Amino acid sequence: MSGLHVPRVRALYRRILLLHRTLPLELKALGDAYVKEEFRRHRAVGPADAQRFLREWEIYAEMLCQQANEDGQKSRKKTCFGAHLTEEKLNDFHNEQIGQLQELMQEATKPNKQFNISDDSEYKN
């Protein structure tokens, strides 16, 4: 992405990783890995693609912020994070993006979790 976007990109990247701290551990690990890979992959895109990339991730960050706030206000009810993709949105995706989405879905729905994350309290006496 062009040098003009660097501060905006860094701020957005940090904001997303901070928002991921509100997610359940499995989602946080998966989300962090996905965000890091996507931001790396889009380092050298042109200005138009950079604007679209940033706009979509800003929408994601805002949605996650709203959901995290809702989660903090709820007692005992489990928050559902994320949003359904509309058919219109899916039709805008390139074949490569559809493939990435399928890989992400498969990773998120694996019966045996790839990540071995445990709560530190299990090991305290």
Q: Is 124 part of a structural domain of the chain?
A: no
Q: Is 8 part of a structural domain of the chain?
A: yes
| Full domain range(s) for residue 92 | 3-116
Q: Is 14 part of a structural domain of the chain?
A: yes
Q: Is 54 part of a structural domain of the chain?
A: yes
Q: Is 79 part of a structural domain of the chain?
A: yes
Interval 54-80 mean pLDDT? 81
Of residues 39 and 117, the one with the higher pLDDT is 39
* Spatial CA neighbour of 35 closest among 51, 54, 52, 48: 54
For 59-69, letters b (16+ CB in 10 Å) and e give ebbeebeebbe
Q: What is the pTM of this model?
A: 0.71
Number of compact structural domains in the chain: 1
Q: Is 78 part of a structural domain of the chain?
A: yes
Q: Is 94 part of a structural domain of the chain?
A: yes
The mean of the pLDDT values for the chain is 81
